Every structure is written in C-alpha cells, then in structure tokens.
Amino acid sequence: MKLTLKIWRQKNASDKGGFATYPVDGISTDMSFLEMLDVLNEELTEKGEDPVHFDHDCREGICGMCSLYINGNPHGPLQTTTCQLHMRSFSDGETITIEPWRAKAFPVVKDLVVNRSAFDRIIQAGGYVSVNTGGVPDANEIPIPKTIADEAFDAATCIGCGACVAACKNASAMLFTSAKISQLALLPQGKVERKTRAEKMIAQMDSEGFGACTNTGACAAECPKGISLTNIARMNREYFSAVVSSDNM
Amino acid sequence: MSWVTKTLSSTLGRKLIMALTGLFLILFLTGHVSGNLLLFKGDGGEAFNIYAKFMTTNPAVKLLSYVTYISVIGHVIYSIILTQVNKSSRPVGYATSNASKSSSAASRNMGILGTIILIFLVIHMQSFWYQMHWGEVPFVTYEGEQYKDLFSIVTFAFQNELMVAGYVVAMAFLSFHLSHGFASAFQTLGLNHKKYTPAIEVLGRIYSILVPILFASMPIYIYFTSQS
Amino acid sequence: MILDSKIPAGPLEEKWTKHKFNSKLVNPANKRKYDVIVVGTGLAGASAAASLAELGYNVKAFCFQDSPRRAHSIAAQGGINAAKNYQNDGDSIFRLFYDTIKGGDYRSREANVYRLAQVSVNIIDQCVAQGVPFAREYGGLLANRSFGGAQVSRTFYARGQTGQQLLLGAYSALSRQVANGKVKLFPRTEMMDLVMVDGHARGIVTRNLITGAVETHAAHAVLLCTGGYGNVFFLSTNAMGSNVTAAWRAHKKGALFANPCFTQIHPTCIPVSGDHQSKLTLMSESLRNDGRVWVPKTVETAEKLRKKQIKPADIKEDDRDYFLERKYPSFGNLVPRDVASRNAKYVCDEGRGVNETGEAVFLDFRDAIARDSEDTIRARYGNLFDMYQQITGENPYKTPMMIYPAVHYTMGGLWVDYNLMTNIPGLYALGEANFSDHGANRLGASALMQGLADGYFVVPYTIGDYLAQTPPKKVDESHPAFAEAVDKVKGGINQLLNIKGSKTVDHFHKRLGKIMWNECGMARTAEGLKEAKKAIKALKKEFWSDVKVLGENEELNQSLEKANRVADFIELGELMIDDALNRNESCGGHFREEYQTPEGEALRDDENYAYVAAWKFMGEDQEEELVKEPLEFENVKLTQRSYK
C-alpha cells in the first residue's frame, strides 16, 4: 500500500505546531497502524529527520496509552484502540490525517503526545475505597449478586485512554469519571464513601477544564471498551442525591 | 459558596437546570398544543377565544406562566453558560472531523437549533402573546360576555405565506431539538434504566414528531381554510 | 562472596510468622522521617508504594509511562492463584506451595514459595475490599477456575482482564496516598542509575522524559519494581517500553543478577506476520482446552500452504500431524507451556510451519465446533476469537487459528534474600524484577500473585527491619556520590547522542532479538550459545560506534529513551548466554538440547545444578563472576516431570 500521511507536528508544549505531509510506501495490510508509523519513523531517522512522537506501550489494547485522532475519529474508523487498528482498514492511495487528542485538559507535549494527568487527578480525588492493606474481611464475607458484579466489571474495564474526551464535542470527561463512580457505587465496598466520592470527583473533573455533557453519545460510541452511557446517568444520580443529602456544606 | 451555589455552578448542576427547565417546557408545549387544537374546531374561533381568556386570567395559569417564563430564560442563560464552558474546554479544534460516525447531528447542534427556536419564539410572542396582553385586539361577545378576538389576529397573521412558511420551518427545528432533548433530559436526571429507557426514547421520538407537526398544521390549516 | 538468603530457621509453616515477630519495628512517630523510593508502578510497585505510605513512610513513586495505571501488569489476562480452597476440591497452602515448587522445576527457594502461598489468601481479601470486580457465581460468592493444568480450581479472575482489574485496584490505593500527600508521583520519569552511599542504596538518578532533566532523588531505601526483561528478544508479549535498565544499572552498581537464562515462552501467541512486527500478542492458554494443534505431515504440503496454493481445509485428516496428541497421548494438547512451545518449534524447524514465514502451527477448533456447536465455542472464547480476527483478519470459526510461541515472562532477575533485599543493603527488588519465587518456570496465574504478595504483604514488614537499623537522618543529596552518578548518566547520554552513526536503535534491537531468539530461546546448545556470545560482543561494539540517535537530551526524545534501554539489553543478553552456557542441564524454561531424556524431555541435574546462579558485575567488558546459592529441599521430593 501507498499512503499519504498528514501528521500534526509540534516541537513542544509552547510551539505553535502544524501539519506535515509524509508519503509512505510498501505498507502491508497486516501491519498495525502503529507499525505503519514505526516504518515512517525508521525512514525519517535514516534521513536525519526527527521521528514522529506518539504514545504507545502495550500494543494489545489494554494499557490505554495510545491516543491518535485518525481521520476525524479517536482511534480511527473502528471502535478499538489505535494499536489494535490494522492497515487493512484503509485503502491504497488514501490520505490519512493524524492529530493529537484535543482538549484544554490534555495539553500537547510533543507531536501527537498529550498529557493526560488530569485523569489521574480525578481518580486521586476519590476513585478508590479507603481501605489500608491488611485488616480486611474475608473475600467471601459479603456476597455480591453476579449481575451487579458484572455491571461493576463492565464499568471497571475503562482503560483511561481519553478517547471519550477526544470524541466529545465538549471535551467532556463524564464517561471516564462516571465509569469509576459507577463501579464503586455498585459494589457494597464502595457504597460507604459514595456521596463524598461523587462530589469530590466531579469537582475535580470540573476544575480540570473538561466540558459538560450534551448526551450526544459520541463518547460511548467511540470507547474502545464499550463503556456505556448508563454510567453517566448513574453518576448523575449519585451526584444529585449526594449534594442534597451529604454532610458536606 | 454554599452547597447550593456550588452545585448549580458545577457542570452537572448546570445540566440539571437544563434538564428540568427543558422538561417543564416539554410539559408546557403539551398544554400549548392541546389548547391550540381548538383552532381546528371550525366555530369561528369561539372556543379558542374563550380558552385564550381563561389562559390569561386564571390565577393558577398565571402562576404556571411565570414558571414558563423562568424556564425559558433559565434554559437560555444556562445554555449560554454551558456553551462557553464547552467551547473553552477545547481551545484548539480538530482539522478533520467525522463526528457523524458516532453521534446524531441534532445532538451536536442543540445550541444552534435552540438559538433558531429562540428567535422564532421572540417573533411568535410578539405576534400573539404581546398582542393579547397589550396590543389592540378587537372584542367579540359570546353569550353576553366580552372576549378578545385573538382568533382573528391568528387568522390574519396566517394569511401571509412567509409567516406560514416561517412557522413550519421553525417547527422542523423544534422537532430536531426535541428529538434529542426529550430523552436527553431523562438521561441527565439519571433516569436511565434498561426497562424504561427504551420506552422513553420511543416516546421522545413520537413526541418530537407529533407535537411540531400539530403546531405546524395550524398555520397551514388556517392559511388554506380562510383563503377558501 | 557468600550469599546469605536469610531464610529463618524453624519449620516451613512457621518461618514467616516467626520472622515477622523477630523483625525490628519502626516507631510509628519515626516512620514519617523515612523516605522510600519505589521505581515502577505495576502490581508490585503500586501495591508497595501504597502500603508503605499507609504505614507512614514518605514514598516517591516513579514510572516511565504517563500514568501509573499503564504499567504492563495491566495486560495479564488469565487470573490470580490463591489457596483459598473455596471450591472444597482439596487445595491448601501446602498444595499451592508444592505445585509452585514443582512447576518451577525445583529451582526456587522453599521458604519464599511457602510464604507466597501463605499470603496468597490475603491478596484476594485485599483486592475485594478495594472494589476489584472478580467473577462471581450466581449465589454471589467468588468464582474460581482451574488454570494452566492445575488439578484444583484456585484461580480468581475478572473475565480475561484480571491483571487490569488488580492493577487498577493497586493504582486506586496508590492514588489515595497521592491525595493524602504520602506518595509523590513522578510519571514519565525513568530511573537511570542507583546512588550508593557507604555501601547502601541511598537514592537514584532519573531522567525526566519530557524535559530531559537529569535529577537525583535521595531516600533511605530503594525498591525496584520494574518488571521483567523479555524485550531483550525484541519481539515478546511485553509492552514496548518494558525494559531492564533500572535493574541492570543496579546490577552494575553491585547487585547480583540471578538465573537470567530462565525465560518463559508462551505457546499460544499470534504468529509474526512480517519484518514490520513490533510486538506479539498472547492469547489465553485456555484455548488449548478445545483447540487441536497440528501441522501437515509432509514438508511439501506445508510449502503449498505457505504459498497459498491450498487451504487448511483441503488437507485430509490422514495428512495432518496432531503432534502433541501423537507424542503425549495422556496430556495431548494440554502439555505444559514449555513442552508445547518446544514441539511447535521442532515441527517448524523441520519445514512444516504453516504461515508465510513458516513459523506457525494450527490451533484448530473444527472438531470442537462440530462437537459442541459454534455458539458454545463462541461463549467460551468469543473475545479471543474476535481479537484474533482483528489482528490477523482471518475468521477462526471458519479456518484454523495459527499460533506460535513467544517470550512472555522472565523468571530470572535481581537476586534477593528472604526479605526481598538484594545484596546491596537498602536496595529491594519486587515482582518480576526479582528472581525469587518461580524457579525455572512460572505457573499460570502466579505472576499476579507474586507481584501483589511482595508489595502488599512482604516488603511492608521486611523493610521495617532494615529501616529500624538505619538512622532517620535525611539522606544528604550533596554527598559526592549523587553528583558522580549524575555525571555518569549525563556522560552516557552524550555518548549516545554523539555517535551519530548510520543505523537506528530498532535496527540493533531487532538484531539482538534474533540472536537471542535463535540461540537462547526455546532450545539452546553450547555451540549455538558460544556463537551467540561472539555475535553479541560484535553487536555491542557496532552499537556503540554506529547507532544513530537524533535530537537532543533536553526534549521528549523517544529514540534516546530506546537507545538507553537497548544498550542495557545488549549487555544483559550476553549475561543470559553466560548463564545458559553455565547451566549444563535442562530445567523449566531452560532447555539445553544436550540434556534431555530419551523421550526428549528436560533432564535436570540436581546433583550439580540445584543452585541459584547469581552473577556479579566485574567491570565493563569483563566476564561476570558466578556466585552460587545452593538450594535445599527439606519438604518436597525432587521428581522428574512426565506428560506421556
């Protein structure tokens, strides 16, 4: 395959940045999208040009590090992570535009690499059960209905890649935040702190500069793990019932 | 900040206001459209004019009308605030977009649809609501009681093709706005359940088509019936 | 040099309890005076950092990824073992201990493994309390499955994403301590060297991957939780960034490296599709429960397949060789990982491999689908089949899957004593980064168990014993050792940037990987290893004179990051070969073709090699010195494995 790549290049956070166009040739349909970029980078390096920087690590769709906005969609045309996207999803001669995630809360570090620490800070605000190591009850002490455990699991599969933010027209982090709030609100272990958790995580999410939710559903439709919009509804319930009944003034 | 102001200045709190005002306006539209069905009665506007008087004089209706005004203003103000927040959350946009893959056009353009509806609303209120309250409306007498003949104002207004066309187009925009807004309000309130959400979505779809069609059929009906 | 494993005296069952009691404690008021550095935020690192911070120590946690949640523990699929015996099927701490020792082919310490089995039960309790959504039965209790050929169902799991759920649990505990101000996080920061003061580990030198700033961090103890070194093979199931640099630089500062040649090859990976391949993807071993492994009987048929002249379905039953079922009638397709892997290699070496590269065998579900229906198979393996189809573009319900073994886990690592402390006082190694619990071969679902055991339940006790004997005075960063280490790191970076050669870092990494895979992979020979050693020496020379690293240090520079890591992999590769050459026996993941039973099974030499081979760095380009830690078995009888 022969392709034309239009890639966002930006030297560092303060650089203005712009698109550069690169032709690539000899791309096999069996290659993953990132392997195609590896090929480009090897060529660039050999020519003495700075390779394109992008985030990636596990390359098996679970670490959530890869984050490319390809032809107008986060992670490209399929509902998967960029690393699991293969070149057979593209056609010979195609021009592919690659951009970084765009959000105020995800500033560009270099080229296609963005800083997603805002997600970590949202979790730090309350995305946990406050138990220390040791001194916990036996794992089977509290039975949890299978359907509830499964629902919690579905929410917990979020990989924190940020595709939801990238897809949302408001760069909203509701799907990410709600996935964690949902998981812990469903489980008896997480119910103890549910009110404070909802209040704190949402306050943090807002202070990071993410937008609000218009319920367009783009986040869930683009989420490589299929996190559902029901989580956002549950988060809203958690939040509204928390603010009217919690002790936090 | 007290917990109330804190909540109402959070993204979720603001969305809550959007949803509650939106749902109230949906209720209002339901009432509005059912009352206005009297236009079709073919009694020369008698029932309609009696209804109009009731709506402008009954104290309970008055109270409701204030809630409606507040809802409209709240819905508009909070949509402006939220749009500001949402715009600022992505200072640098994308060069390419393929948003239609994952969301509906209506859901992405609620602000634009809403703005058009707001412009329509101003014209609409100027044409009828203002006339009814402060304008010069001829009087009619039914069974010895005087009524403002709003019906004549309405029939006169809809002699104008532009006016009719404008109303029909505005109702199309309202339909798109409602097609997303109806179910979306429930989602924002957290009312999402696999047993009921599909029903809400169907109801929303029916509502967003039926109500604007009924509204749009009024100027068309009047235009054709009063011409002939 | 004599290695003291510090195994407590007394009966096996009481060692850990007694040891905990005999360990010195740090006064609660004093804990806040101690600083601890944790490098790596996977299962071991995140759990250790969180637990130590909960105790009151000041923790600094480092990871090279943009968030601690991305550590490669997240990719573990299968599950985590624990001797809970919830299924009433005869499991016990002793049985888990016994299975682990036996599975490791008797090359691990009894005391460590027993402790691992003991604390395994606490791990599950801890994770459930954190809100980890393990699979459950309809009655609401935890579900278990049998995994990796174990005869009891002791594996806890969260669909095929157990590693993710456990890591997110540990990450949440870590995040809570970050919010409490007890852990300071340093993402996108890579450890470049260890700082030693008066023979003790007292800090590290790091490179900020965004700005390139080379900085020092001082502490009273340093924990390396940096994972394994499978990427020495270039292609492995490890993440692209997984590297040995932290452990290797500590090794060069004096920490012994134990059993480096013990690497685990996993039989069910998606085969390499071409030279562009950057990493390999593992599919759960459970596929072998229903899939049948085969290749064509003749080389001619295989050639036709490779040239796509025929399809797999065209090959008649009689022309197929179900080689595992043929050679191992009682275990069939369920033989252990190493046996399955090696046999796949043999048939491919004979020229009977089935994909374009000739390095793949079929894993066929045709018979299972005919027997149980496609829906049943879909319910069992649907997600795996989807993943396979996504990567290869082939539909495994219609045409047989192709698989090939790939490097998956490294049992070797930094030598540690019973306290998980290396031979450098104050330097600890946890999880896959140490060598301690899996011997020559790791059992399925035991890696997660070990990482969390080390971090949650072992090091919080053992580190106290060390710190109680260390004065709580702040470590002085103006000590010349810090400046020296910084200069050395900066020197190394400048050297790499100034070679300005002609070949990319990946070029060297790929060549290193080929050498290691061919000669130090699934089957090894003395002759091949000797050749490989020469080749690696030459490669190292070439690397340091011809590598091309563009850009500068003071920016995000992924080529420079890779160059640093590959430089260390090359040196480690040589040591792995030394270790494989030294170990004149076959055991677990280490198979020397000269040492096999007449049936082709691994032939251990317990008389001469029942020891841990720990290697001591003797200086640049010097041969490393072997230090032996003899292994004593008092509670298990050494037996030969047989799967006939």
Q: What is the CATH number of the domain that holds B68?
A: 1.20.1300.10
CA C38 distance to own-chain centroid:
18
The CA distance from A222 to A76, in Å, is 9
pLDDT on residue C337: 84
CATH of C265-407, one of 1.25.40.420, 3.80.30.20, 3.90.700.10, 3.40.190.10: 3.90.700.10
Q: State whether A196 and A138 are in the same domain.
A: yes
Q: Which domain holds residue B134?
A: 8-86+107-227
Contacts of B226 by beta carbon, 8 Å cutoff, 6+ apart: B155, B158, B159
Work out how many CB contacts closer than 8 A connect A with B. Answer: 137
A139 contacts chain C (CB < 8 A): yes
Average pLDDT (C423-436) is 97
The per-residue pLDDT for range A205-224, each reduced to its tens digit, is: 999 999 999 999 999 999 99
Q: Which residues does B contribute to its contact with A (CB < 8 Å)?
A: 2-3, 7, 10-16, 82, 85-86, 88-99, 101-104, 107-108, 110, 180, 183-184, 187-192, 194
Of B3, B95, B192, the CB nearest to A97: B95
- For residue B19, the chain A residue with the least C-alpha distance is A214
Chains in contact with chain C (at least 3 beta-carbon pairs closer than 8 A): A
A158 shares a domain with A90: no
Query: What distance lies between CA C290 and its chain's CA centroid?
Result: 27
Which residue of A205, A212, A243 is in closest CB contact with B15?
A212
Question: Which residues of chain C make contact with A45, given a CB cutoff of 8 A?
Answer: 504, 548, 550, 559
d(CA C258, CA C223): 17
Answer whether C281 sits within 8 Å of A60, measured CB to CB. yes
Q: Are residues A100 and A121 in the same domain?
A: no
Q: Mind telling me how many Å the CA of A27 is from chain B's nearest CA?
A: 23
Would you mind telling me the total number of residues written for chain C in this entry?
644
Check residue B221 and give its pLDDT: 95
ipTM greater than 0.85: yes
Q: Which residues have a Cβ under 8 Å from the Cβ of A193 and sit 6 or more positions away?
A: A126, A129, A130, A184
DSSP 8-state symbol, B109: T
Q: Give chain B positions within 8 Å (CB) of A71.
A: 96, 98
Indicate the angle between helix axes B59-88 and B46-57, nearest 10 degrees.
80
Give catalytic residues of C, as residue numbers: 337
**What does the alpha-carbon distance between residue C151 and residue C334 come to, in Å, rounded to a whole number?**
12
Residue in chain C lying closest to A111 (CA): C556
Portion 107-166 of A in contact with B at CB < 8 A: none
Question: In whole angstroms, what is the distance from residue C287 CA to residue C308 CA?
Answer: 25
Q: Indicate the number of domains in chain B.
A: 1
**Contact residues, chain B, for A239 at CB < 8 Å:** 10, 12
Q: Taking chain C, what is the end-to-end CA distance rounded to the nearest angstrom?
A: 42
**Which among A110, A127, A157 is the end of a domain?**
A110
CB C211 within 8 A of CB C190: no
Domains C265-407 and C483-604 share a fold: no
As a three-state string, the secondary structure of C432-499 is: HHECCCCCCCCCCCCHHHHHHHHHHHHHHHHHHHHHCCCCCCCCCCCCHHHHHHHHHHHHHHHHHHHH
pLDDT over 50 at A134, yes or no: yes
pLDDT, tens digit, 9 for 90 and up, residues C299-344: 999 999 999 999 999 999 999 999 999 999 988 998 878 889 999 9
Question: Which chains sit next to B, with 3 or more Cβ pairs under 8 A?
Answer: A
Token match 């008087």: residue?
Answer: B53
The residue-averaged pLDDT of C45-52 equals: 98
Task: Summarize the confidence of residues B198-217 as an average pLDDT.
Answer: 97
The predicted model gives B6-23 an average pLDDT of: 96
The answer as to whether B118 is a domain residue is: yes
A100 shares its domain with A220: no
Taking all residues of chain C, what is their mean pLDDT, rounded to a whole number?
A: 95
A240–B contact, CB cutoff 8 A: yes
DSSP class of residue C623 equals P
Q: What is the CATH number of domain C483-604?
A: 1.20.58.100
Task: Answer whether A213 touches B (CB < 8 Å).
Answer: yes
Helices B59-88 and B110-124: crossing angle in degrees, nearest 10, is 150
Yes or no: say if C67 and A160 are a contact pair by the CB < 8 Å rule: yes
Residue of C nearest to A137 (CA): C125
**Cα C129 from Cα A135, distance rounded (Å):** 10
Contacts of A197 in chain B (CB under 8 A): none
Per-domain boundaries in chain C: 265-407, 483-604
- Calculate Rg over the CA atoms of chain B: 20
Q: Do A233 and B190 touch (CB under 8 A)?
A: yes
Spatial CB neighbours of A141, under 8 Å, sequence gap ≥ 6: none
| Percentage of chain A modeled with pLDDT above 90 | 99
Read off the tokens for A220. 């869930």
Residue C248 amino acid letter: W
Residue from A216, A246, A249 whose CB has the most chain B CBs within 10 Å, to mutate: A216
Question: Which chain B residues are closer than 8 Å to A75 by Cβ?
Answer: none
Same-domain check for residues A135 and A73: no
Is the Cβ of A5 closer than 8 Å to some Cβ of chain B? no
A94–C contact, CB cutoff 8 A: no
Domain end position, chosen among A94, A110, A126 = A110
Which of C137, C179, C506 shows the shortest C-beta gap to A125?
C179
pLDDT value at C481 more than 50 = yes
Contact A183 C173 (CB under 8 A): no
Could you tell me the pLDDT band of residue B1, with boundaries at 50, 70 and 90?
low
Across A177-197, average pLDDT: 98
The reply to whether residue A233 touches residue B192, judged by beta carbons under 8 angstroms, is yes
CA distance A150 to chain C (A): 7
Nearest Cβ partner for A72 among B2, B94, B190: B94
Return d(Cα B113, Cα B100) in angstroms, integer: 17
Work out the minimum CA distance from A31 to partner chain B, whole angstroms.
Answer: 24
pLDDT digits (tens, 9 = 90+) for B66-97: 999 999 999 999 999 999 999 999 999 999 99
Contact flag A120-C67 (C-beta cutoff 8 Å): yes
Q: What is the pLDDT of residue B227?
A: 61
- Predicted pLDDT at B228: 47
H helices of chain B, in order, are 3-8, 11-36, 46-57, 59-88, 105-108, 110-124, 130-134, 150-157, 161-188, 197-227
Residue A69 sits in the same domain as residue A126: no
Residue of A nearest to C167 (CA): A63
> Across the interface, do B102 and A167 touch by the CB < 8 Å criterion?
yes
Chain C residue whose CA is closest to A63: C70
Counting the structural domains of chain A, the total is: 2
User: Exposure of A33 by Cβ count < 10 A (0-12 exposed, 13-18 middle, 19+ buried)?
Assistant: buried
Of B3, B11, B194, the CB nearest to A206: B11
> Are A89 and A146 in the same domain?
no
CA distance B107 to chain A (A): 5
Nearest CA in chain B to A78: B101
Q: Is the pTM of this model over 0.90?
A: yes
Distance from the Cα of A124 to chain C's closest Cα (Å) equals: 5
Mutating which of C118, C136, C281 best tests the A interface, going by the most A Cβ atoms within 10 A?
C136
Give the rounded percent of residues in chain B with a pLDDT score beyond 90: 93
Q: CA C23: distance to chain centroid? A: 29
Q: What is the 3-state secondary structure (H, E, C) of chain A?
A: CCEEEEEEECCCCCCCCEEEEEEECCCCCCCEHHHHHHHHHHHHHHHCCCCCCCCCCCCCCCCCCCCEEECCEECCCCCCCHHHCEHHHCCCCCEEEEEECCCCCCCEEECCEECCHHHHHHHHCCCCCCCCCCCCCCCCCCCCCHHHHHHHHHHHCCCCCCHHHHHCCCCECHHHHHHHHHHHHHCHHHHCCHHHHHHHHHHHHHHCCCECCCCCCHHHHHCCCCCCCHHHHHHHHHHHHHHHHCCCC
Instruction: Note whether B96 contacts A97, CB cutoff 8 Å.
Output: yes
Domain that holds residue A220: 117-245
Residue of A nearest to B3 (CA): A249
Taking Cα atoms as reference points, which of C444, C157, C395, C401 lies closest to residue C285? C444
Q: Which residues in chain A (72-101) have CB-CB distances under 8 A to chain B?
A: 72-73, 77, 97, 99
Mutate to test the interface with C, among A54, A60, A138 (most CBs of C within 10 A): A60
Tens digits of per-residue pLDDT, C192-216? 999 999 999 999 999 999 999 999 9
| DSSP β-bridge partners for residue C410 | C263
Do A231 and A124 belong to one domain? yes
Mean model confidence pLDDT for chain B: 95
CB proximity under 8 Å: A 173-192 to C: 183-184, 187, 189-190
Q: Tell me how far apart the terminal alpha carbons of chain B are, to the nearest angstrom.
A: 63
Nearest to A46 among C122, C171, C504 (CB): C504
Claim to verify: residue A104 and residue A25 sit in the same structural domain: yes
Q: What's the mean pLDDT in B44-48?
A: 94
The CATH number of the domain where A104 resides is what? 3.10.20.30
pLDDT per position as a tens digit, A84-125: 999 999 999 999 999 999 999 999 999 999 999 999 999 999
**Partner-chain contact C187 A190, CB within 8 Å:** no
A abuts B (3+ Cβ pairs < 8 Å): yes
